[in-house]
A and B are shown apart, each in its own frame.
Chain A
Protein backbone atom coordinates (compact mmCIF):
# COMPACT_ATOMS: atom_id res chain seq x y z
CA UNK A 1 0.00 0.00 0.00
CA UNK A 2 2.90 2.38 0.75
CA UNK A 3 4.18 2.00 -2.81
CA UNK A 4 0.75 2.93 -4.08
CA UNK A 5 0.77 6.12 -2.01
CA UNK A 6 4.21 6.95 -3.41
CA UNK A 7 2.97 6.42 -6.97
CA UNK A 8 -0.04 8.60 -6.22
CA UNK A 9 2.25 11.34 -4.85
CA UNK A 10 4.35 11.12 -8.00
CA UNK A 11 1.20 11.40 -10.13
CA UNK A 12 -0.17 14.45 -8.30
CA UNK A 13 3.19 16.27 -8.26
CA UNK A 14 3.68 15.54 -11.98
CA UNK A 15 0.28 17.08 -12.71
CA UNK A 16 1.34 20.31 -11.01
CA UNK A 17 4.69 20.26 -12.79
CA UNK A 18 2.82 19.74 -16.07
CA UNK A 19 0.65 22.82 -15.48
CA UNK A 20 3.72 24.95 -14.70
CA UNK A 21 5.58 23.72 -17.79
CA UNK A 22 2.82 23.71 -20.37
CA UNK A 23 1.36 27.16 -19.58
CA UNK A 24 4.74 28.60 -20.63
CA UNK A 25 4.59 27.08 -24.12
CA UNK A 26 3.74 29.87 -26.63
CA UNK A 27 0.67 29.41 -28.89
CA UNK A 28 2.90 29.32 -31.96
CA UNK A 29 4.29 25.97 -30.76
CA UNK A 30 1.00 24.38 -29.76
CA UNK A 31 0.88 21.93 -32.67
CA UNK A 32 4.45 20.64 -32.11
CA UNK A 33 3.58 20.51 -28.40
CA UNK A 34 0.69 18.15 -29.16
CA UNK A 35 2.68 15.88 -31.45
CA UNK A 36 5.68 16.00 -29.10
CA UNK A 37 3.63 15.05 -26.05
CA UNK A 38 2.04 12.36 -28.20
CA UNK A 39 5.49 10.91 -28.68
CA UNK A 40 6.08 11.11 -24.92
CA UNK A 41 2.84 9.24 -24.26
CA UNK A 42 4.38 6.50 -26.41
CA UNK A 43 6.23 5.69 -23.18
CA UNK A 44 3.51 3.04 -22.90
CA UNK A 45 5.98 1.15 -25.11
CA UNK A 46 7.78 0.26 -21.89
CA UNK A 47 4.67 -1.47 -20.57
CA UNK A 48 4.01 -3.00 -23.98
CA UNK A 49 7.50 -4.55 -24.09
CA UNK A 50 6.90 -6.21 -20.74
CA UNK A 51 3.59 -7.66 -21.92
CA UNK A 52 4.86 -8.83 -25.31
CA UNK A 53 8.13 -10.26 -24.06
CA UNK A 54 7.14 -12.46 -21.13
CA UNK A 55 7.71 -16.14 -21.92
CA UNK A 56 5.31 -17.67 -19.46
CA UNK A 57 2.20 -15.84 -20.64
CA UNK A 58 -0.54 -17.38 -22.73
CA UNK A 59 -0.66 -16.67 -26.44
CA UNK A 60 -3.48 -14.13 -26.03
CA UNK A 61 -1.28 -11.94 -23.83
CA UNK A 62 1.57 -12.01 -26.33
CA UNK A 63 -0.77 -11.02 -29.15
CA UNK A 64 -2.18 -8.13 -27.11
CA UNK A 65 1.42 -7.24 -26.28
CA UNK A 66 2.32 -7.25 -29.97
CA UNK A 67 -0.57 -4.86 -30.70
CA UNK A 68 0.51 -2.63 -27.83
CA UNK A 69 4.13 -2.56 -29.06
CA UNK A 70 2.93 -1.67 -32.57
CA UNK A 71 0.64 1.15 -31.40
CA UNK A 72 3.21 2.58 -29.01
CA UNK A 73 6.04 2.42 -31.57
CA UNK A 74 3.92 4.31 -34.12
CA UNK A 75 3.44 6.97 -31.45
CA UNK A 76 7.11 7.16 -30.54
CA UNK A 77 8.64 7.08 -34.02
CA UNK A 78 5.84 9.01 -35.74
CA UNK A 79 5.54 11.54 -32.93
CA UNK A 80 9.22 12.44 -32.59
CA UNK A 81 9.88 12.49 -36.34
CA UNK A 82 6.92 14.69 -37.21
CA UNK A 83 7.65 17.03 -34.29
CA UNK A 84 11.24 17.36 -35.42
CA UNK A 85 10.09 18.02 -38.97
CA UNK A 86 7.76 20.78 -37.82
CA UNK A 87 10.15 22.38 -35.34
CA UNK A 88 12.98 22.60 -37.84
CA UNK A 89 10.69 24.82 -39.95
CA UNK A 90 10.30 27.43 -37.21
CA UNK A 91 12.92 30.03 -37.96
CA UNK A 92 13.58 33.59 -36.94
CA UNK A 93 14.32 36.01 -39.71
Chain B
Protein backbone atom coordinates (compact mmCIF):
# COMPACT_ATOMS: atom_id res chain seq x y z
CA UNK B 1 0.00 0.00 0.00
CA UNK B 2 1.36 3.42 -0.89
CA UNK B 3 2.36 5.67 1.94
CA UNK B 4 0.18 8.48 0.63
CA UNK B 5 -2.95 6.39 1.14
CA UNK B 6 -1.80 5.47 4.64
CA UNK B 7 -1.19 9.14 5.44
CA UNK B 8 -4.58 10.18 4.04
CA UNK B 9 -6.24 7.62 6.29
CA UNK B 10 -4.20 8.95 9.25
CA UNK B 11 -5.51 12.42 8.40
CA UNK B 12 -9.06 11.04 8.47
CA UNK B 13 -8.38 9.45 11.88
CA UNK B 14 -7.00 12.76 13.15
CA UNK B 15 -10.20 14.53 12.05
CA UNK B 16 -12.28 11.95 13.93
CA UNK B 17 -10.21 12.56 17.10
CA UNK B 18 -10.84 16.30 16.81
CA UNK B 19 -14.59 15.76 16.27
CA UNK B 20 -14.55 13.35 19.20
CA UNK B 21 -13.09 15.91 21.59
CA UNK B 22 -15.47 18.54 20.20
CA UNK B 23 -18.32 16.19 21.17
CA UNK B 24 -17.07 16.31 24.77
CA UNK B 25 -17.91 20.01 25.00
CA UNK B 26 -21.57 19.11 25.76
CA UNK B 27 -22.91 16.22 27.87
CA UNK B 28 -25.59 15.52 25.24
CA UNK B 29 -23.08 14.92 22.44
CA UNK B 30 -20.32 13.38 24.56
CA UNK B 31 -21.17 9.69 24.09
CA UNK B 32 -21.25 10.12 20.32
CA UNK B 33 -17.98 12.06 20.43
CA UNK B 34 -16.30 9.24 22.28
CA UNK B 35 -17.57 6.79 19.65
CA UNK B 36 -16.21 8.93 16.81
CA UNK B 37 -12.85 9.06 18.52
CA UNK B 38 -12.86 5.26 18.97
CA UNK B 39 -13.70 4.80 15.28
CA UNK B 40 -10.77 7.05 14.42
CA UNK B 41 -8.54 4.81 16.51
CA UNK B 42 -9.83 1.66 14.80
CA UNK B 43 -9.27 3.15 11.35
CA UNK B 44 -5.70 4.18 12.22
CA UNK B 45 -4.88 0.74 13.62
CA UNK B 46 -6.36 -1.18 10.70
CA UNK B 47 -4.52 0.85 8.09
CA UNK B 48 -1.27 0.35 10.00
CA UNK B 49 -1.81 -3.41 10.07
CA UNK B 50 -2.47 -3.44 6.32
CA UNK B 51 0.78 -1.57 5.82
CA UNK B 52 3.39 -3.79 4.21
CA UNK B 53 6.00 -2.97 6.89
CA UNK B 54 4.04 -5.02 9.40
CA UNK B 55 4.74 -8.68 8.66
CA UNK B 56 5.26 -10.44 11.97
CA UNK B 57 1.98 -10.76 13.83
CA UNK B 58 3.03 -12.98 16.75
CA UNK B 59 3.99 -10.16 19.13
CA UNK B 60 1.14 -7.97 17.93
CA UNK B 61 -1.58 -10.54 18.58
CA UNK B 62 -0.08 -11.42 21.95
CA UNK B 63 0.12 -7.76 22.98
CA UNK B 64 -3.35 -6.83 21.75
CA UNK B 65 -5.00 -9.81 23.43
CA UNK B 66 -3.18 -9.31 26.71
CA UNK B 67 -3.52 -5.51 26.76
CA UNK B 68 -7.13 -5.65 25.59
CA UNK B 69 -8.09 -8.09 28.34
CA UNK B 70 -6.39 -6.01 31.04
CA UNK B 71 -7.89 -2.77 29.72
CA UNK B 72 -11.42 -4.16 29.42
CA UNK B 73 -11.24 -5.76 32.86
CA UNK B 74 -10.12 -2.51 34.47
CA UNK B 75 -12.65 -0.38 32.60
CA UNK B 76 -15.65 -2.56 33.38
CA UNK B 77 -14.82 -3.45 36.98
CA UNK B 78 -13.50 -0.19 38.38
CA UNK B 79 -15.70 1.61 40.89
CA UNK B 80 -16.55 5.21 40.15
CA UNK B 81 -14.99 6.28 43.47
CA UNK B 82 -11.71 4.76 42.24
CA UNK B 83 -11.70 6.63 38.94
CA UNK B 84 -8.65 8.77 39.88
CA UNK B 85 -6.62 5.57 40.31
CA UNK B 86 -7.80 4.31 36.92
CA UNK B 87 -6.83 7.53 35.15
CA UNK B 88 -3.47 7.51 36.91
CA UNK B 89 -2.80 3.98 35.65
CA UNK B 90 -3.89 4.85 32.11
CA UNK B 91 -1.53 7.86 32.13
CA UNK B 92 1.26 5.55 33.24
CA UNK B 93 0.63 3.00 30.50
CA UNK B 94 0.55 5.83 27.93
CA UNK B 95 3.97 6.94 29.13
CA UNK B 96 5.18 3.33 29.13
CA UNK B 97 4.05 2.85 25.53
CA UNK B 98 5.98 5.93 24.36
CA UNK B 99 9.04 4.89 26.36
CA UNK B 100 9.12 1.40 24.83
CA UNK B 101 8.44 2.65 21.30
CA UNK B 102 11.34 5.12 21.48
CA UNK B 103 13.64 2.43 22.89
CA UNK B 104 12.54 -0.05 20.22
CA UNK B 105 13.21 2.53 17.54
CA UNK B 106 16.70 3.16 18.91
CA UNK B 107 17.64 -0.51 19.19
CA UNK B 108 16.26 -1.33 15.74
CA UNK B 109 18.73 1.16 14.24
CA UNK B 110 21.52 -0.20 16.42
CA UNK B 111 20.52 -3.66 15.20
CA UNK B 112 22.36 -5.71 17.83
CA UNK B 113 21.45 -9.29 18.55
CA UNK B 114 21.94 -9.10 22.30
CA UNK B 115 22.27 -12.51 23.92
CA UNK B 116 23.01 -11.11 27.34
CA UNK B 117 22.94 -7.82 29.19
CA UNK B 118 26.67 -7.26 28.65
CA UNK B 119 26.16 -7.50 24.87
CA UNK B 120 23.95 -4.44 25.19
CA UNK B 121 26.67 -2.44 26.86
CA UNK B 122 29.30 -3.00 24.19
CA UNK B 123 29.57 -0.09 21.77
CA UNK B 124 28.62 -0.87 18.18
CA UNK B 125 30.10 0.42 14.96
CA UNK B 126 27.48 2.79 13.62
CA UNK B 127 27.19 4.68 10.35
CA UNK B 128 27.39 8.42 11.05
CA UNK B 129 24.05 8.89 9.32
CA UNK B 130 22.32 5.84 10.82
CA UNK B 131 19.54 7.97 12.34
CA UNK B 132 19.20 10.25 9.32
CA UNK B 133 21.31 12.69 7.37
CA UNK B 134 23.07 15.39 9.41
CA UNK B 135 20.63 17.61 11.28
CA UNK B 136 17.74 15.23 10.63
CA UNK B 137 19.59 12.48 12.44
CA UNK B 138 20.18 14.78 15.39
CA UNK B 139 16.52 15.76 15.53
CA UNK B 140 15.55 12.08 15.53
CA UNK B 141 17.98 11.38 18.35
CA UNK B 142 16.74 14.36 20.38
CA UNK B 143 13.17 13.11 19.85
CA UNK B 144 14.12 9.60 20.96
CA UNK B 145 15.86 10.97 24.05
CA UNK B 146 13.00 13.30 25.01
CA UNK B 147 10.37 10.60 24.41
CA UNK B 148 12.30 8.22 26.67
CA UNK B 149 12.71 10.94 29.32
CA UNK B 150 9.07 12.07 29.39
CA UNK B 151 7.66 8.58 28.86
CA UNK B 152 9.66 7.12 31.76
CA UNK B 153 8.83 10.01 34.12
CA UNK B 154 5.14 9.57 33.24
CA UNK B 155 5.34 5.80 33.83
CA UNK B 156 6.83 5.79 37.32
CA UNK B 157 5.21 9.07 38.36
CA UNK B 158 1.78 7.70 37.50
CA UNK B 159 2.44 4.42 39.28
CA UNK B 160 3.32 6.36 42.45
CA UNK B 161 0.20 8.53 42.01
CA UNK B 162 -1.83 5.32 41.69
CA UNK B 163 -0.25 3.81 44.82
CA UNK B 164 -0.97 6.99 46.80
CA UNK B 165 -4.59 7.22 45.65
CA UNK B 166 -5.10 3.55 46.41
CA UNK B 167 -3.65 4.07 49.89
CA UNK B 168 -0.69 1.74 49.24
CA UNK B 169 1.77 4.56 49.96
CA UNK B 170 0.66 6.77 52.80
CA UNK B 171 3.78 8.75 53.62
CA UNK B 172 5.01 11.71 51.60
CA UNK B 173 8.77 11.72 51.31
CA UNK B 174 11.34 12.85 48.80
CA UNK B 175 15.03 12.72 48.11
CA UNK B 176 17.34 14.30 50.66
CA UNK B 177 17.61 17.91 49.61
CA UNK B 178 14.12 17.83 48.14
CA UNK B 179 14.00 19.68 44.83
CA UNK B 180 17.82 19.72 44.69
CA UNK B 181 17.92 15.91 44.51
CA UNK B 182 15.33 15.95 41.74
CA UNK B 183 17.26 18.68 39.92
CA UNK B 184 20.40 16.52 40.03
CA UNK B 185 18.48 13.56 38.57
CA UNK B 186 17.09 15.82 35.85
CA UNK B 187 20.52 17.26 35.00
CA UNK B 188 21.91 13.72 34.88
CA UNK B 189 19.15 12.67 32.49
CA UNK B 190 19.81 15.69 30.27
CA UNK B 191 23.53 14.89 30.25
CA UNK B 192 22.76 11.33 29.13
CA UNK B 193 20.51 12.76 26.41
CA UNK B 194 23.31 14.99 25.12
CA UNK B 195 25.70 12.01 25.09
CA UNK B 196 23.18 10.03 23.02
CA UNK B 197 22.94 12.80 20.44
CA UNK B 198 26.72 13.20 20.23
CA UNK B 199 27.52 9.48 20.13
CA UNK B 200 24.49 7.26 19.55
CA UNK B 201 26.52 4.05 19.30
CA UNK B 202 26.78 3.65 23.11
CA UNK B 203 23.65 1.85 24.23
CA UNK B 204 24.77 2.28 27.82
CA UNK B 205 23.89 5.98 27.71
CA UNK B 206 20.32 5.11 26.65
CA UNK B 207 20.03 2.65 29.53
CA UNK B 208 21.35 5.34 31.89
CA UNK B 209 18.76 7.80 30.57
CA UNK B 210 15.95 5.28 31.10
CA UNK B 211 17.11 4.57 34.67
CA UNK B 212 17.53 8.24 35.62
CA UNK B 213 14.16 9.19 34.14
CA UNK B 214 12.37 6.33 35.92
CA UNK B 215 13.90 7.50 39.23
CA UNK B 216 12.98 11.10 38.50
CA UNK B 217 9.31 10.18 37.99
CA UNK B 218 9.36 8.27 41.26
CA UNK B 219 10.83 11.08 43.35
CA UNK B 220 8.82 13.84 41.68
CA UNK B 221 5.51 12.38 42.87
CA UNK B 222 6.52 10.67 46.16
CA UNK B 223 6.64 13.96 48.13
CA UNK B 224 3.20 15.14 46.95
CA UNK B 225 0.17 14.68 49.19
CA UNK B 226 -3.33 13.40 48.45
CA UNK B 227 -5.24 16.64 48.02
CA UNK B 228 -2.71 17.85 45.43
CA UNK B 229 -3.32 14.77 43.30
CA UNK B 230 -5.75 16.53 40.91
CA UNK B 231 -2.83 18.67 39.74
CA UNK B 232 -0.43 15.73 39.49
CA UNK B 233 -2.85 13.57 37.51
CA UNK B 234 -3.66 16.40 35.11
CA UNK B 235 0.04 17.11 34.60
CA UNK B 236 0.92 13.45 33.99
CA UNK B 237 -2.00 13.31 31.54
CA UNK B 238 -0.35 16.15 29.67
CA UNK B 239 3.05 14.39 29.74
CA UNK B 240 1.60 11.19 28.30
CA UNK B 241 0.23 13.22 25.37
CA UNK B 242 3.48 15.08 24.89
CA UNK B 243 5.42 11.80 24.84
CA UNK B 244 3.08 10.46 22.15
CA UNK B 245 3.56 13.60 20.04
CA UNK B 246 7.36 13.29 20.37
CA UNK B 247 7.16 9.62 19.35
CA UNK B 248 5.39 10.94 16.25
CA UNK B 249 8.48 13.00 15.43
CA UNK B 250 10.68 9.87 15.70
CA UNK B 251 8.48 7.87 13.34
CA UNK B 252 7.48 10.81 11.12
CA UNK B 253 3.90 9.88 11.88
CA UNK B 254 1.32 12.68 11.53
CA UNK B 255 -1.57 11.13 13.48
CA UNK B 256 0.64 10.60 16.54
CA UNK B 257 1.63 14.26 16.46
CA UNK B 258 -1.95 15.55 16.14
CA UNK B 259 -3.43 13.22 18.76
CA UNK B 260 -0.48 13.62 21.13
CA UNK B 261 -0.54 17.41 21.08
CA UNK B 262 -4.33 17.48 21.66
CA UNK B 263 -3.86 15.31 24.75
CA UNK B 264 -0.85 17.38 25.84
CA UNK B 265 -2.80 20.65 25.75
CA UNK B 266 -5.81 19.04 27.43
CA UNK B 267 -3.69 17.98 30.39
CA UNK B 268 -1.97 21.36 30.60
CA UNK B 269 -5.25 23.27 30.60
CA UNK B 270 -6.66 21.03 33.34
CA UNK B 271 -3.44 21.50 35.33
CA UNK B 272 -3.84 25.26 35.09
CA UNK B 273 -7.52 25.13 36.11
CA UNK B 274 -6.61 23.03 39.16
CA UNK B 275 -3.77 25.37 40.20
CA UNK B 276 -6.00 28.45 39.86
CA UNK B 277 -8.66 26.71 41.96
CA UNK B 278 -6.09 26.22 44.73
CA UNK B 279 -4.51 29.66 44.27
CA UNK B 280 -1.09 28.01 44.03
CA UNK B 281 1.54 27.97 41.33
CA UNK B 282 2.48 24.70 39.66
CA UNK B 283 5.96 24.98 41.16
CA UNK B 284 4.47 25.34 44.64
CA UNK B 285 2.34 22.21 44.20
CA UNK B 286 5.23 20.16 42.82
CA UNK B 287 8.09 21.32 45.01
CA UNK B 288 6.68 23.42 47.82
CA UNK B 289 4.82 22.85 50.99
CA UNK B 290 1.76 24.84 51.86
CA UNK B 291 3.22 28.13 53.06
CA UNK B 292 3.28 28.05 56.85
CA UNK B 293 3.54 31.81 57.17
CA UNK B 294 1.48 34.01 59.43
CA UNK B 295 0.60 33.35 63.02
CA UNK B 296 -0.40 29.82 63.87
CA UNK B 297 -4.13 29.64 64.35
CA UNK B 298 -5.11 27.76 67.45
CA UNK B 299 -7.92 25.34 66.71
CA UNK B 300 -9.12 25.30 70.32
CA UNK B 301 -9.42 29.07 70.36
CA UNK B 302 -11.66 29.01 67.30
CA UNK B 303 -13.80 26.08 68.28
CA UNK B 304 -13.96 26.37 72.10
CA UNK B 305 -17.55 26.48 73.26
CA UNK B 306 -18.82 27.78 69.93
CA UNK B 307 -19.47 24.58 67.99
CA UNK B 308 -23.08 23.41 67.93
CA UNK B 309 -23.74 19.80 67.12
CA UNK B 310 -27.03 18.31 65.98
CA UNK B 311 -28.71 14.99 65.28
CA UNK B 312 -29.92 14.01 61.81
CA UNK B 313 -33.62 14.36 62.77
CA UNK B 314 -33.04 17.97 63.85
CA UNK B 315 -31.57 18.64 60.41
CA UNK B 316 -34.62 17.00 58.83
CA UNK B 317 -36.90 19.46 60.66
CA UNK B 318 -34.82 22.32 59.31
CA UNK B 319 -34.99 20.92 55.77
CA UNK B 320 -38.78 20.64 55.94
CA UNK B 321 -39.26 24.40 56.12
CA UNK B 322 -36.53 25.31 53.60
CA UNK B 323 -37.17 26.69 50.14
CA UNK B 324 -33.74 26.14 48.65
CA UNK B 325 -31.07 23.61 49.62
CA UNK B 326 -27.51 23.31 48.25
CA UNK B 327 -25.42 20.18 48.75
CA UNK B 328 -21.63 20.64 48.77
CA UNK B 329 -19.77 17.32 48.36
CA UNK B 330 -16.06 16.69 48.90
CA UNK B 331 -13.64 13.79 48.94
CA UNK B 332 -15.25 12.53 52.16
CA UNK B 333 -18.41 11.71 50.20
CA UNK B 334 -16.36 9.48 47.90
CA UNK B 335 -14.62 7.86 50.88
CA UNK B 336 -17.96 7.09 52.54
CA UNK B 337 -19.47 5.91 49.21
CA UNK B 338 -22.35 8.21 50.10
CA UNK B 339 -23.31 9.45 46.62
CA UNK B 340 -26.42 7.26 46.30
CA UNK B 341 -27.56 8.15 49.84
CA UNK B 342 -27.09 11.84 49.01
CA UNK B 343 -29.22 11.51 45.88
CA UNK B 344 -31.99 9.80 47.88
CA UNK B 345 -31.92 12.64 50.41
CA UNK B 346 -32.13 15.16 47.56
CA UNK B 347 -35.09 13.24 46.05
CA UNK B 348 -36.84 13.31 49.39
CA UNK B 349 -36.28 17.05 49.78
CA UNK B 350 -37.39 17.75 46.21
CA UNK B 351 -40.58 15.72 46.63
CA UNK B 352 -41.64 18.47 49.04
CA UNK B 353 -41.28 21.07 46.32
CA UNK B 354 -37.96 22.36 47.66
CA UNK B 355 -35.25 23.36 45.18
CA UNK B 356 -32.01 21.33 45.44
CA UNK B 357 -28.71 22.01 43.68
CA UNK B 358 -25.15 20.78 44.11
CA UNK B 359 -22.21 23.17 44.48
CA UNK B 360 -19.03 21.68 43.02
CA UNK B 361 -15.61 23.14 43.76
CA UNK B 362 -13.06 22.47 40.95
CA UNK B 363 -10.65 20.64 43.29
CA UNK B 364 -13.25 18.73 45.30
CA UNK B 365 -12.13 15.11 45.19
CA UNK B 366 -8.93 13.65 43.83
CA UNK B 367 -9.13 14.55 40.16
CA UNK B 368 -10.81 17.16 37.93
CA UNK B 369 -14.54 16.39 37.72
CA UNK B 370 -14.39 13.61 40.33
CA UNK B 371 -17.59 14.69 42.17
CA UNK B 372 -19.54 15.09 38.94
CA UNK B 373 -18.83 11.51 37.89
CA UNK B 374 -19.82 10.15 41.30
CA UNK B 375 -23.10 12.06 41.34
CA UNK B 376 -23.81 11.14 37.73
CA UNK B 377 -23.37 7.51 38.78
CA UNK B 378 -26.02 8.11 41.45
CA UNK B 379 -28.26 9.40 38.65
CA UNK B 380 -28.18 13.04 39.63
CA UNK B 381 -29.04 15.02 36.47
CA UNK B 382 -25.99 16.98 35.31
CA UNK B 383 -27.85 20.30 35.12
CA UNK B 384 -28.11 20.18 38.93
CA UNK B 385 -24.31 20.10 39.30
CA UNK B 386 -23.41 23.78 39.47
CA UNK B 387 -19.84 25.05 39.25
CA UNK B 388 -18.35 27.40 41.83
CA UNK B 389 -18.70 30.72 40.00
CA UNK B 390 -22.38 30.16 39.28
CA UNK B 391 -23.40 28.76 42.69
CA UNK B 392 -21.59 31.33 44.86
CA UNK B 393 -23.99 34.26 44.21
CA UNK B 394 -26.96 32.04 45.18
CA UNK B 395 -25.84 31.14 48.71
CA UNK B 396 -27.41 34.25 50.24
CA UNK B 397 -30.84 33.06 49.11
CA UNK B 398 -30.17 29.49 50.23
CA UNK B 399 -31.88 28.27 53.39
CA UNK B 400 -29.77 25.20 54.10
CA UNK B 401 -26.35 24.15 52.79
CA UNK B 402 -25.36 20.55 53.49
CA UNK B 403 -21.57 20.13 53.39
CA UNK B 404 -20.61 16.47 53.18
CA UNK B 405 -16.95 15.49 53.32
CA UNK B 406 -15.62 18.88 52.21
CA UNK B 407 -13.48 21.13 54.40
CA UNK B 408 -10.79 23.45 52.99
CA UNK B 409 -12.90 24.47 49.98
CA UNK B 410 -15.47 25.99 52.38
CA UNK B 411 -13.02 27.67 54.78
CA UNK B 412 -13.83 31.41 55.05
CA UNK B 413 -10.23 32.06 56.12
CA UNK B 414 -9.38 31.83 52.43
CA UNK B 415 -11.46 34.95 51.91
CA UNK B 416 -10.77 36.87 55.11
CA UNK B 417 -7.61 35.86 56.93
CA UNK B 418 -4.77 37.60 55.13
CA UNK B 419 -1.54 35.73 55.83
CA UNK B 420 -3.32 32.40 56.13
CA UNK B 421 -1.77 29.68 53.92
CA UNK B 422 -4.98 29.34 51.96
CA UNK B 423 -5.66 33.09 51.70
CA UNK B 424 -6.80 33.94 48.18
CA UNK B 425 -7.97 30.46 47.28
CA UNK B 426 -11.42 30.67 45.69
CA UNK B 427 -13.93 28.92 47.94
CA UNK B 428 -17.60 28.05 48.03
CA UNK B 429 -19.15 30.80 50.17
CA UNK B 430 -21.40 28.42 52.08
CA UNK B 431 -21.15 30.60 55.22
CA UNK B 432 -23.38 33.18 53.47
CA UNK B 433 -26.31 30.78 53.55
CA UNK B 434 -28.97 31.07 56.28
CA UNK B 435 -28.10 27.69 57.78
CA UNK B 436 -25.13 25.39 57.25
CA UNK B 437 -25.05 21.69 58.12
CA UNK B 438 -21.63 20.05 58.10
CA UNK B 439 -21.49 16.25 58.09
CA UNK B 440 -18.06 15.21 59.31
CA UNK B 441 -16.45 12.57 61.49
CA UNK B 442 -14.78 15.07 63.83
CA UNK B 443 -13.37 18.58 63.93
CA UNK B 444 -10.06 17.35 62.48
CA UNK B 445 -8.46 19.70 59.95
CA UNK B 446 -8.46 19.13 56.19
CA UNK B 447 -5.43 18.82 53.92
CA UNK B 448 -4.28 22.38 54.60
CA UNK B 449 -4.02 21.51 58.32
CA UNK B 450 -6.10 24.53 59.30
CA UNK B 451 -9.10 24.88 61.58
CA UNK B 452 -12.26 25.96 59.76
CA UNK B 453 -14.07 28.92 61.42
CA UNK B 454 -17.18 27.88 59.47
CA UNK B 455 -17.70 25.05 61.99
CA UNK B 456 -17.89 27.51 64.89
CA UNK B 457 -20.34 29.95 63.30
CA UNK B 458 -23.71 30.57 64.93
CA UNK B 459 -25.71 29.32 61.98
CA UNK B 460 -23.62 26.16 61.50
CA UNK B 461 -24.66 22.75 62.84
CA UNK B 462 -22.18 19.90 62.99
CA UNK B 463 -23.49 16.38 62.43
CA UNK B 464 -20.76 14.00 63.56
CA UNK B 465 -20.43 10.50 62.17
CA UNK B 466 -20.13 8.47 59.01
CA UNK B 467 -21.33 10.50 56.02
CA UNK B 468 -23.49 7.79 54.50
CA UNK B 469 -25.15 6.83 57.78
CA UNK B 470 -25.91 10.46 58.70
CA UNK B 471 -27.46 11.16 55.29
CA UNK B 472 -29.58 8.01 55.39
CA UNK B 473 -30.86 8.97 58.84
CA UNK B 474 -31.78 12.44 57.61
CA UNK B 475 -33.71 10.94 54.71
CA UNK B 476 -35.57 8.55 57.00
CA UNK B 477 -36.46 11.34 59.43
CA UNK B 478 -37.61 13.57 56.58
CA UNK B 479 -39.76 10.83 55.05
CA UNK B 480 -41.43 10.09 58.38
CA UNK B 481 -42.33 13.66 59.20
Contacts and interface: CB of A to CB of B under 8 A. Distances in A.
A38 B30 contact: no
Given A38-B91, A42-B41, A49 B31 contact: no
A34 B270 contact: yes
B255 interface: yes
Contact of B37 (A26, A34, A40, A78): A40
A2 B177 CA distance: 45
A64 B103 contact: yes
Nearest to B105: A51
Interface string A19-54: 101111111111111111111111111111111111
A72 B114 CA distance: 25
Contacts of B38: 39, 80
A1 B387 CA distance: 48
A70 B253 contact: no
Contacts, number: 385
Contacts of B451: none
B98 to A, nearest CB: 6
A26 B139 CA distance: 38
Contact of B369 (A27, A74, A80, A89): A27
Given A40-B37, A74-B70, A85-B76, A47 B256 contact: yes
Contacts of A37: 21, 237, 241, 262-263, 266-267
Contacts of B59: 52-53, 62-63, 65-66, 69
Given A7-B249, A49-B60, A61-B107, A71 B96 contact: yes
A58 B108 contact: yes
Contacts of B252: 3, 7
Contact of A1 (B53, B136, B382): B136
A7 B261 CA distance: 12
A3 B249 CA distance: 10
B100 A65 contact: yes
Contact of B367 (A31, A61, A68, A83): A31
B257 A61 contact: no
A89 B224 CA distance: 32
Contact of A92 (B17, B34, B257, B382): B382
Nearest to A33: B24
Main DSSP-derived SS at the A contact region: helix
Q: Which range holds the interface residue count of chain B?
A: 35 or more
A73 B66 CA distance: 8
Given A18-B265, A19-B265, A38-B87, A33 B139 contact: no
B254 A7 contact: yes
B25 interface: yes
A35 B68 CA distance: 16
Contacts of B368: 27, 30-31, 33-34
Contacts of A39: 37-38, 41, 90
Contact of A44 (B66, B256, B261): B256
Given A49-B45, A66-B59, A76-B41, A4 B67 contact: no
B266 A28 contact: no
Contact of A38 (B13, B20, B55, B237): B237
Contact of A75 (B90, B255, B261): B90
Contacts of B266: 18, 22, 33-34, 37
Contacts of B136: 1, 4
B63 A30 contact: no
B391 to A, nearest CB: 12
Given A47-B247, A50-B251, A64-B103, A71 B93 contact: yes
Contacts of B100: 48, 51, 64-65, 67-68, 71
Nearest to B119: A60
A58 B113 contact: yes
Residue picked from A26, A37, A68, A87, most chain B C-beta under 10 Å: A37
Interface stretch (B317-325, B372-380, B405-413): B372-380
A39 B34 CA distance: 9
A75 B97 contact: yes
B297 interface: no
B57 A53 contact: yes
19 contacts: A14-B258, A23-B269, A24-B25, A27-B362, A27-B372, A27-B387, A30-B372, A31-B87, A43-B17, A44-B94, A46-B255, A49-B48, A57-B111, A60-B112, A69-B64, A80-B37, A86-B373, A89-B379, A90-B376
Interface of A: 1, 3-4, 7, 10-11, 14-15, 17-19, 21-55, 57-93
Query: What 5 A-B pairs are tightest by C-beta distance, nearest first?
Result: A73-B67, A69-B63, A18-B265, A30-B369, A78-B71
Given A14-B261, A59-B114, 19 more contacts: A32-B24, A33-B368, A37-B21, A37-B241, A46-B255, A50-B54, A50-B251, A54-B53, A58-B114, A73-B63, A75-B93, A77-B68, A78-B90, A81-B71, A81-B76, A82-B86, A87-B34, A90-B376, A91-B376
